[in-house]
Structure 1
Amino acid sequence: MSTPRPLPPRVPPAERGALRIADRVVAKIAAQAAREALDTLPGAVPHATVTVHHDIARVRVSLELDYPSDLAAQCAAVREQVARRVQQCAAMAVPEVAIDIEHLHSAHTRPGAPAGRDRRLR
Structure 2
Amino acid sequence: MTSVSSGAEELRRPPPVVAPGERGATRIADRVVAKIAGQAAREAVGELPAEAASPHATVVVHHETARVRVHLELDYPCDIGARCRRVRRHVVERVGALVGMEVLEVAVQVERLHPAQAHGVAQGRTR
TM-score grouping bracket, smaller chain normalisation: 0.7 to 0.9
Q: 1:114 — aligned with what?
A: 120
Alignment partner for residue 108 of structure 2, among 99, 111, 114?
99
Residue ranges of structure 2 left out of the alignment (5+ in a row): none
Q: 1:73 — aligned with what?
A: 82
**How many Å separate the matches in 2 of 1:65 and 1:117?**
17
Q: 2:71 — aligned with what?
A: 62
Structure 2 length as normaliser, TM-score?
Answer: 0.80
Q: 1:11 — aligned with what?
A: 18
- Amino acid corresponding to residue 105 of structure 2 in structure 1: E
State the number of aligned residues: 116
- Amino acid corresponding to residue 104 of structure 2 in structure 1: P
CA shift in 2, pair 1:36/1:91, >3 Å: same
- Please, which moves more after superposition, 14-23 or 64-73? 14-23
* Shift of residue 10, structure 1, vs aligned partner: 1.0
CA shift in 2, pair 1:8/1:97, >3 Å: same
- Please, which moves more after superposition, 80-89 or 36-45? 36-45
CA shift in 2, pair 1:36/1:116, >3 Å: same
* Shift of residue 60, structure 1, vs aligned partner: 0.2
- Amino acid corresponding to residue 89 of structure 2 in structure 1: E
| Pair 1:87-2:96 in alignment | yes
Q: 2:61 — aligned with what?
A: 52
Contact 2:68/2:107 (<8 A) preserved: yes
Q: 1:30 — aligned with what?
A: 37
* Shift of residue 11, structure 1, vs aligned partner: 1.1
Q: Which has the larger radius of gyration?
A: 2
Percent identity of equivalent pairs: 57
After the TM superposition, list the runs of 4 or more consecutive aligned residues in structure 1 that deviate by more than 2 angstroms: 12-15, 113-119
